[in-house]
Amino acid sequence: MNDLERVDSKKDDVQASYAEAEKGKDEVDNDHFTAFAGLSRYQAMRKFWRACLFCLVTAFGVVMDGYQTSLPGSVLANEGFIKQFGTVVDAATGKVSVDAQYISMWSGLAYLCQFLGNWMGGFISDRFGRRYTLYTLTVVFTGGIITEIVARNYKDWLAAKMLMGLGQGLIQQGVLTYISEVAPTQLRGALMSTYGWAYALGQLFVAIALNTLNMTDPQNYLKAIYSEFVFLGLWIITMIFLPETPWYYARKEDETRAKKVLARIYKGVEGYDIDREYNAMLLEIQEEKSKSQSNSEVALKDIFMGPHLQRSFASVFALVMQNWSGSPVIFNYTTYFLQQAGLPKPFQASVIVYCILLFSLMVSFYGIERFGRRTLILSGGLSCTVFNIAIASLGFAHKSDSTDSATLAFICLWVFMYAFGFAGTGWTCAAEIATPRLRAKTTAFAASTNAISGAIFNSVVPLMISATSRNWGVKTLYMFAILGGTGTVINFFLLPETKGRTFAEMDEMYDQKIAPRKMKAHVTTLEERGLKQHQ
Same domain membership, residue 370 and residue 399: yes
Angle between helices 425-433 and 346-370 (to 10 degrees): 40
Share of the chain above pLDDT 70, in %: 84
Average pLDDT over residues 422-446: 76
Q: Does 48 fall in a domain?
A: no
Picking from 240, 261, 281, the residue at the C-terminal end of a domain is: 240
SS3 sequence, 312-331? HHHHHHHHHHHHHCCHHHHC
Evaluate whether 352 touches 414 at the Cβ level (below 8 Å): no
Q: How confident is the model at residue 137 (pLDDT cuts 50, 70, 90)?
A: very high
Same domain membership, residue 252 and residue 192: no
Q: In this structure, what CATH number is given to the domain that contains residue 4?
A: 1.20.1250.20
| Phi, psi of 69, deg, nearest 5 | -85, -20
Evaluate whether 90 touches 466 at the Cβ level (below 8 Å): no
Task: Identify the pLDDT of residue 14.
Answer: 40
Q: Is the pLDDT of residue 378 over 90?
A: yes
Cα atoms in the Cβ-side hemisphere of radius 13 Å centred on 386: 8
Q: Does 67 fall in a domain?
A: yes
Q: How confident is the model at residue 4 (pLDDT cuts 50, 70, 90)?
A: very low
CA distances from 476 to 119, 349, 387, 391, 466 (A): 33, 19, 13, 10, 10
DSSP alpha helix (H) spans, 217-299: 222-226, 228-239, 246-251, 255-265, 274-296
Give the span between the Cα atoms of 299 and 319, in whole angstroms.
Answer: 22
Q: Does 28 fall in a domain?
A: no
What does the DSSP assignment read for 33-50? Answer: S-TTTT--HHHHHHHTHH
Average pLDDT over residues 525-529: 75
Q: Is the pLDDT of residue 113 over 80?
A: yes
Task: Identify the pLDDT of residue 295.
Answer: 55
Q: Does 113 fall in a domain?
A: yes
Task: Identify the pLDDT of residue 271.
Answer: 80
Same domain membership, residue 351 and residue 266: no
Task: Identify the pLDDT of residue 459.
Answer: 76
Task: Identify the pLDDT of residue 369.
Answer: 74
Q: Is 530 left (phi over 0), alpha (psi -120 to 50) or beta?
A: left
pLDDT in tens, 17-39: 434 433 433 334 444 556 676 67
- Contact residues for 436 (Cβ-Cβ < 8 A; gap 6+): 9, 12, 13, 503
Indicate the range of 119-123, 346-350, 362-366, 389-393 predicted with least confidence.
346-350
Task: Identify the pLDDT of residue 47.
Answer: 85
Picking from 289, 318, 350, the residue at the C-terminal end of a domain is: 289
Burial 461-479 (b: 16+ CB within 10 A, else e): bbbbbbbbbeebbbbbbbb
Q: Is the pLDDT of residue 136 over 90?
A: yes
Same domain membership, residue 168 and residue 226: yes
Strands (E), 20-102: 88-89, 96-97
Same domain membership, residue 278 and residue 345: no
> What DSSP designation does 97 have?
E
Using CA atoms of 228, 231, 237, 242 in order, give the dihedral in degrees to the nearest 10. -120
Average pLDDT over residues 354-358: 86
What does the DSSP assignment read for 353-392? Answer: HHHHHHHHHHHHHHHHHHT-HHHHHHHHHHHHHHHHHHHH
Indicate the range of 167-176, 282-291, 398-407 predicted with least confidence.
282-291
Rg (CA), the chain: 24
Q: How confident is the model at residue 337 (pLDDT cuts 50, 70, 90)?
A: low
Same domain membership, residue 333 and residue 213: no
Give the Cβ contact number of residue 329 at 10 Å. Answer: 28
Same domain membership, residue 460 and residue 449: yes
Same domain membership, residue 267 and residue 221: no
Indicate the range of 312-321, 363-372, 410-419 predicted with least confidence.
363-372
Give the span between the Cα atoms of 200 and 234, in whole angstroms.
Answer: 18
Q: Is the pLDDT of residue 535 over 80?
A: no
Same domain membership, residue 449 and residue 400: yes
Greater model confidence, 172 or 248: 248
Range of the domain at 351: 300-535
Task: Identify the pLDDT of residue 438.
Answer: 77
Picking from 289, 309, 325, the residue at the C-terminal end of a domain is: 289
Structurally, how many domains does the chain consist of? 3
Indicate the range of 186-190, 345-349, 362-366, 398-402 predicted with least confidence.
186-190
> What DSSP designation does 524 have?
P
Same domain membership, residue 232 and residue 274: no
Q: Does 466 fall in a domain?
A: yes
Give the span between the Cα atoms of 60 and 44, in whole angstroms.
Answer: 22
Going by their DSSP bridges, the two strands 88-89 and 96-97 should be labelled as: antiparallel
pLDDT in tens, 462-501: 777 664 445 677 788 899 999 999 999 999 999 999 887 8
Q: Does 33 fall in a domain?
A: no
Q: Does 27 fall in a domain?
A: no
Average pLDDT over residues 128-146: 93
Same domain membership, residue 251 and residue 232: no
Smallest Cα–Cα separation from 330: which of 465, 164, 158? 465
Q: Does 188 fall in a domain?
A: yes
Same domain membership, residue 382 and residue 318: yes
Q: What angle do CA 519, 425, 115 make, to 5 degrees?
A: 125
Q: How confident is the model at residue 141 (pLDDT cuts 50, 70, 90)?
A: very high
pLDDT in tens, 60-103: 888 998 898 888 877 887 888 988 998 888 777 778 888 878 88
Evaluate whether 389 touches 478 at the Cβ level (below 8 Å): yes
